[in-house]
Structure formats: structure tokens, C-alpha cells
């Protein structure tokens, strides 16, 4: 969808003019998708909510500088990824904080699937298998390099085009396509025992 026909761009331009209702509408629409992506990058349930809040604070503070150059979601997820990378760098300087967060999450390892996944209904015989598959998918995603993981998550979460994903992760279009291809191939191999077909998802537009 071209930026000039993106209804969220229109909302953000209203935010730029001081419309708080438009900002609330964008937060309502994108809060959960942002939390989902942040959580899968950081693997920290508590930090995901806090950082998602910071994403929208940054959006509001940057509203006066906002210019229409891409879809709103592309701009939004670029902010989210940059804040995630800042957090990853901070943790590398303070590993004890990361260790404590991982220990806390391990005590509640079933929390993220309840809090961050879309609610789905499964028949009783399928529930255990579905939970096992979700666990394997999350583990496989966790083991991907950050750029591959983020690109795959944006494909799954927002159905963004390759061009839009390239803008978010700061890579060329060809490099982005290569990242997604390698990431999908890695996931297929890791999840092969759990999948009846080799398909991961449809190609983005």
C-alpha cells in the first residue's frame, strides 16, 4: 500500500497536529503487534511491555518531526527495532540484568504464549501438539540471528513487503530477501519433524 493511501499515515498526521484521539487510535491498533515483535526479539515478557510503551512515547515525542516517506507501520517498527537494539546493547554491558530477566521468565515459561499469542481454539486432542509446536517455533526463532529473526517476525506479524522490511532492518532489498530466505530454510529444517509440509507462509507482496 503506498504511503499516501495508508490510513495510519493520515492518523499520524493528525497526531502531528496535536490530535490525541488519533494517537490513542494508533496505540490501540498497534500496541499488541509491537509487544509481540519486541517480546520475540528480547525474550523478556516484562521488558516487552515496558519497551512497547517507550516505542509509543517516542512516536508521540517525534510527531512534530514526522514526514510521510513510508507506511506508518514501517516507521513504527523501525523505532521498535532501534529501541530493541539499544536494549540488547545495554544488556551486553550489564549481563547480570539479562541473567536475572531470563531466570524470572524461566519460572513462568508458559506466560508468553498466554499473554502475547493470538487466542486460538483447538480440540482437546490437538492442544498438546499445538503447544509443543508453538514452543518449537519460539525456540527456533530465538536461535536465528537478530536480523533474520526480525525480518521473519515482520513477515509473520505485519505481512510487510520486502521493501518495507528492508527499511526497518536497514538492509538493501537483495540482502533482506537473502536474510528471509536463509531464515526460512533454517526454520524449515528445525521444524521439519513437526510440520506435514515444507511451507512456512506465503510470500509477502
CB 112 within 8 A of CB 52: no
Whole-number pLDDT of residue 8:
94
Q: Is the pLDDT of residue 99 over 60?
A: no
- The per-residue pLDDT of the chain, averaged, comes to 76
Q: Each residue of 71-80: pLDDT tens digit?
A: 899 999 999 9
State the alpha helices, DSSP H only, in the chain: 7-16, 20-42, 45-61, 72-93, 95-106, 111-116, 124-142, 146-158, 162-169, 173-191
Torsion of CA 101, 105, 111, 115, to 10 degrees: 20
Task: Check whether residue 92 and residue 146 sit in a common domain.
Answer: no
Q: pLDDT by residue (tens digit) across 106-134?
A: 333 333 333 334 434 434 445 555 566 66
The residue out of 109, 135, 169 marking a domain boundary is 109
The confidence score (pLDDT) of residue 146 equals: 85
Domain of 85? 1-109
Per-residue pLDDT reduced to its tens digit, 151-175 = 888 887 656 788 888 988 888 999 9
Q: How many domains does the chain have?
A: 2
Give the Cα separation of 12 and 23 in Å (integer).
7
Distance CA 131, CA 150 (A): 22
| Domain end marker among 81, 109, 137 | 109
Rounded to whole angstroms, the Cα distance separating 133 from 67 reads 41
Q: Do residues 23 and 60 make contact, with C-beta atoms less than 8 angstroms apart? A: yes
**C-alpha cell, 69:** 516517506
Determine the 3-state secondary structure of 28 from DSSP: helix
* Cell matching residue 191: 521444524
Same domain (yes/no): 168, 128: yes
Decide if pLDDT at 5 tops 50: yes
Specify whether 104 is located in the same domain as 131: no
| The pLDDT value given to residue 150 | 87
- Does 205 map to a domain? no
Q: How far apart are CA 116 and CA 125, in angstroms?
A: 23
Q: Report pLDDT digits (tens) over 21-65.
A: 999 999 999 999 999 888 888 877 788 889 999 999 999 999 999
Q: Is residue 192 part of a domain?
A: yes
Task: Return the exposure string of 64-75: e unless at least 16 CB atoms fall within 10 Å of the residue's CB, then b.
Answer: eeeeeebbbbbb
Is the same domain home to 70 and 8?
A: yes
Amino acid at each position: 500500500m503506498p504511503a499516501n493511501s495508508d490510513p495510519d499515515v493520515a492518523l499520524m498526521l493528525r497526531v502531528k497536529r496535536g490530535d490525541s484521539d488519533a494517537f490513542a487510535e494508533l496505540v490501540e491498533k498497534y500496541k499488541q503487534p509491537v509487544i509481540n515483535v519486541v517480546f520475540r526479539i528480547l525474550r523478556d515478557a516484562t521488558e516487552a511491555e515496558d519497551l512497547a510503551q517507550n516505542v509509543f512515547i517516542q512516536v508521540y515525542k517525534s510527531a512534530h518531526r514526522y514526514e510521510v516517506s513510508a507506511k506508518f507501520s514501517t516507521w513504527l517498527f523501525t523505532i521498535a527495532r532501534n529501541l530493541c537494539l539499544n536494549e540488547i546493547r545495554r544488556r551486553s554491558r550489564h549481563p547480570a540484568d539479562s541473567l536475572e530477566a531470563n531466570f524470572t521468565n524461566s519460572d513462568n515459561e508458559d506466560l508468553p504464549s498466554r499473554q502475547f499469542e493470538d487466542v486460538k481454539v483447538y480440540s482437546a486432542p490437538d492442544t498438546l501438539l499445538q503447544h509443543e509446536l508453538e514452543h518449537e517455533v519460539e525456540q527456533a526463532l530465538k536461535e536465528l540471528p537478530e536480523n533474520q529473526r526480525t525480518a521473519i517476525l515482520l513477515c509473520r506479524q505485519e505481512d510487510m513487503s520486502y521493501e518495507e522490511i528492508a527499511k526497518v532492518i536497514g538492509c538493501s532489498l537483495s540482502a533482506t530477501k537473502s536474510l528471509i530466505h536463509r531464515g526460512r530454510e533454517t526454520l524449515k529444517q528445525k521444524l521439519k519433524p513437526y510440520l506435514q509440509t515444507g511451507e512456512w507462509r506465503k510470500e509477502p507482496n
